[in-house]
Structure 1
Amino acid sequence: MAVLAANLVTLRQEIYRRWPHHQKRFDGWIGDVSHQRRKSDHNPDSRGVVHAVDVDVNGIDPRALVRVAIRHPTTQYVIFNRTIWSRTRGFQPRRYTGSDPHTGHVHISGRYGSAFENNRSAWGVAAAPAPAAKASQPASRAPARRPAAAQPGKPGSRSLRLTRPPMHGYDVLFVQRFIGAKQCGEADGFYGSRTEAGVRWYQHMRGIKATGVCDATTFRHMGITV
């Protein structure tokens, strides 16, 4: 009989506690007939252990789940929204070209081996943000508040571009660390030509206009709500 690896059981339990009302249409772990016809982490290994889970994106924050998953020591790779983060590439985002774009669910594959399968350490899902409220929900009767002023250096508070002198701050550092040193160079907090090139690479990889300007659209793809 097939069983889900214990580390992924822990992950699913945390997800269901954090987002108890999320839709589960695309939730699953055991491979269907199409998976059984090919090599897949959804298929049981020789010991009957399954090393992958899918999580429906409706009712959760999928980008927050991705960020949590790629930090866990038992994760091998994550796929979501035509993007893959794999341990073999240092979890740097790359374009995923498989037949399923994974826009309706987040796929998480765990590492093989009993030390990883039986690792019950927390994933940190409890700290992930709740999904944004839908516009169709009744509006609060409380008086509307004026939006708070953008915090200097807060990711998403401004568009980042090449300037003289160069823009700098925590938001630049966030972008450099998110995209990675391979594309952006050393994370020094200054938006120079190397960082701009990294942003162009990321924008091209995500299928948005490659301007080299890290604007609201680019930040949203990084999971930052502007």
Structure 2
Amino acid sequence: MSPLTLFLQADIVVKVVMVGLLLASIWTWGIIFTHSARLTRARVKARRTAEAFWKAKDIDGFVDAHRADGNATARILRAGVEEYHRSTRAGLADRAAARDRIAVAAEDAMAGELEKLSDRLNILATIGSVAPFVGLFGTVWGIMRSFTAIAGANNTSLAVVAPGIAEALFATAIGLFAAIPAVIAYNRLTHRLDAFENELTRFSDRFQATLSRQLERA
């Protein structure tokens, strides 16, 4: 019995389940490839900007030169510098409040970037948790159909029972085929995203410390 034969001989409900799970599997792999590449590019660009920033002599000049950059580090820099200038434009009455505002601006920029990078990861979690149960539903439905056919034929030989049960179990196999990569990818991508968040947090803290020293001199 080939997979194609099992699919063609299955009940319409089981066929719908199988097709849905196969589409979920294709969707899963699409998310895995696109988000993995997207996260890699984001980390590389953010690191390059961070390395260049620590070598720069003028913060304002660096931010102006990289204003068109769309990576996370550049956005944190722009948010922090813009808030710094807003807080010091009319004089500096409260340095602590200015530091707090700069921290909020930088953290908000960082959170926005991480939110964009985590988009659709919840789909992987959903597929990973739901797909096995959808496949199990197809299996249960197929087995119920097989038992009904057995009762109608009044024949319990293995040759009569086996094909229907095989079709039903094939639905569970497809469910696992969709779920296992989704769970592994979700855990892996989440781990990489957490590591990227830690990098951005460390950069943001060092950047805020740099602006804090400028506030002391203001």
TM-score (norm 1): 0.21
Q: Relative contact order: is structure 1 or structure 2 higher (C-alpha 8 Å, sep ≥ 6)?
A: 2
- Structure with bigger helix share is 2
- Structure that is richer in strand per residue: 1
TM-score by length of 2: 0.22
